Amino acid sequence: MFENLSEKLERSFKILKGQGKITELNVAETLKEVRRSLLDADVNYKIAKDFTNRVKDKALGMNVLTAVKPGQLMVKIVHDELAELMGGKNVDIDVKGNPAIVLMSGLQGSGKTTFSGKLANMLKTKRGKKPLLVACDVYRPAAIEQLRVLGEQIGVPVYTDENSKDPVGIAQAAIRQAKAEGKDVVIVDTAGRLAIDEQMMTEITAIKKAIEPNETLFVVDAMTGQDAVNTAKEFNERLDFDGVILTKLDGDTRGGAALSIRTVVNKPIKFVGTGEKMEAIDAFHPERMADRILG
Ligand code: GDP
């Protein structure tokens, strides 16, 4: 997904790479190109500007003008700052507890239900957990059915109650069942809307309050760029979530969401979704992402 950005950044460093002796003007031109590359990747203006200012300060602090290989030094500085921008280190989810509770939030179509299945599958196959999935979307029977199908596919039970219109009650009943059956992780999939609305926010806030999850995760479609960042901000203000899940990184996203969300909400991106299959889930590693961007 970062192909475009990678290419552009590589081009920006050309000015510095070809020269034995460089000037402040060369550095300034390079930084301007870096900023332009970030803007083209759909990073918000202020974030891009602050980013290049930090790179500049660091470059001057490290005496880039007299460095033997100024191009390489700049690439390293940009690499480290990119990793920092995306959160520095990977932050795992907390699934300790009896049971641990994970609450999923996000807009409809963001990939919430798919990710709930992926997470359950990953916890089951890689960490030896016994998950229970919970369908709390009382408005869309199709969403309940979708989770049931996914559960069947990965061999994880799904708690549903089609007669209930009370998502808080469903989540609580599911947790009781999980305890009774010795399940150790409960993943609660909730209703989303196409756009943020008060009822959805009130509902998910009430669920969170009632079940006190270990993890509240916010799922967002990376392809929506700046919108993803704005939605994250609004959800975080209401829900104070613990981590972000960026989905559809396999699509032709320009990467702006991945580069901006951490700065805007100050919460880590914990996982990414890279396809429709249940195996298409990866832990998010800022360092590795920066490696990928800079090739
Ligand atoms: P929800 O409404 O938030 O529960 O979203 P869904 O889980 O139903 O996902 C919406 C659509 O996005 C479905 O067609 C999914 O197959 C698709 N989807 C979800 N995650 C990914 C992903 O990481 N990559 C791709 N390419 N598609 C995804």
CA-proximal residue: ligand 1, atom 12 (nearest): 111
Pocket mutation for ligand 1, best pick of 113, 114, 144 (most atoms within 8 Å of C-beta): 114
pLDDT at 154: 98
**At residue 19, does pLDDT exceed 70?**
no
192 is in an annotated binding site: yes
How far is 217 from 269, CA to CA, in rounded Å? 9
Q: What is the DSSP letter of 277?
A: S
Q: Which token pair is 264?
A: 């805007």
**At residue 151, does pLDDT exceed 90?**
yes
CA-proximal residue: ligand 1, atom 6 (nearest): 111
The angle that helices 24-40 and 3-17 make with each other, rounded to 10 degrees, is: 170
Instruction: Note if the bond before 99 is cis, omega within 30 degrees.
Output: yes
Q: Which atom of ligand 1 is nearest to the CA of 247?
A: 23
| 216-220, 222-226, 239-243: segment of lowest average pLDDT | 222-226
pLDDT band at 14 (very low <50, low <70, confident <90, very high): confident
82 is in an annotated binding site: no
Q: Which atom of ligand 1 is nearest to the CA of 107?
A: 3
**At residue 1, does pLDDT exceed 80?**
no
Q: How far is the CA of 252 from the centre of ligand 1 (A)?
A: 15
Q: Which token pair is 7?
A: 């290419």
How far is 66 from 72, CA to CA, in rounded Å? 13
Q: Which atom of ligand 1 is nearest to the CA of 137?
A: 4
Residues with CB under 6 A from ligand 1: 106, 108-114, 146, 192, 247-248, 250-251, 273-276, 280
76 is in an annotated binding site: no
pLDDT at 251: 87
Pocket mutation for ligand 1, best pick of 187, 276, 278, 284 (most atoms within 8 Å of C-beta): 276
Task: Kindly state the percentage of the chain with pLDDT values over 90.
Answer: 87
Q: What are the tens digits of pLDDT across the range 90-132?
A: 999 999 999 999 999 999 999 999 999 999 999 999 999 999 9
Q: Which atom of ligand 1 is nearest to the CA of 273?
A: 23
**At residue 16, does pLDDT exceed 90?**
no
Q: How far is the CA of 39 from the centre of ligand 1 (A)?
A: 27
Q: How many CB atoms lie within 10 A of CB 32?
A: 13
Q: What are the tens digits of pLDDT across the range 56-94?
A: 999 999 998 888 888 899 999 999 999 999 999 999 999
pLDDT at 295: 79
How far is 157 from 252, CA to CA, in rounded Å? 34
Q: What are the tens digits of pLDDT across the range 167-208?
A: 999 999 999 999 999 999 999 999 999 998 999 999 999 999
Amino acid at the residue 111: G
Q: Could you tell me which of 181, 160, 183 has the C-alpha nearest to residue 171?
A: 160
| 6-15, 51-60, 226-235, 262-271: segment of lowest average pLDDT | 6-15
193 is in an annotated binding site: yes
How far is 191 from 188, CA to CA, in rounded Å? 10
- pTM reported for the whole predicted model: 0.95
Across the range 157-162, mean pLDDT stands at 96
Q: Could you tell me which of 43, 36, 33 has the C-alpha nearest to residue 253?
A: 43
- The alpha helices in the chain, defined as continuous H runs, are 3-17, 24-40, 45-61, 70-85, 112-127, 141-154, 167-181, 198-211, 226-239, 256-265, 286-294
**What's the chain's average pLDDT?**
95
**At residue 5, does pLDDT exceed 80?**
yes
113 is in an annotated binding site: yes
| 7-16, 109-118, 141-150, 279-288: segment of lowest average pLDDT | 7-16
pLDDT at 18: 77
Query: Residue 185: CB partners within 8 Å, gap ≥ 6?
Result: 95, 99, 100, 101, 102, 120, 123, 129, 130, 131, 132
Q: How far is the CA of 295 from the centre of ligand 1 (A)?
A: 28
Q: How far is the CA of 113 from the centre of ligand 1 (A)?
A: 7
How far is 70 from 11, CA to CA, in rounded Å? 15
How far is 188 from 160, CA to CA, in rounded Å? 11
How far is 241 from 107, CA to CA, in rounded Å? 14
Residue with tokens 């192909």: 3
pLDDT band at 242 (very low <50, low <70, confident <90, very high): very high
Q: How far is the CA of 286 from the centre of ligand 1 (A)?
A: 23
Sign of CA dihedral 157, 158, 161, 166: positive
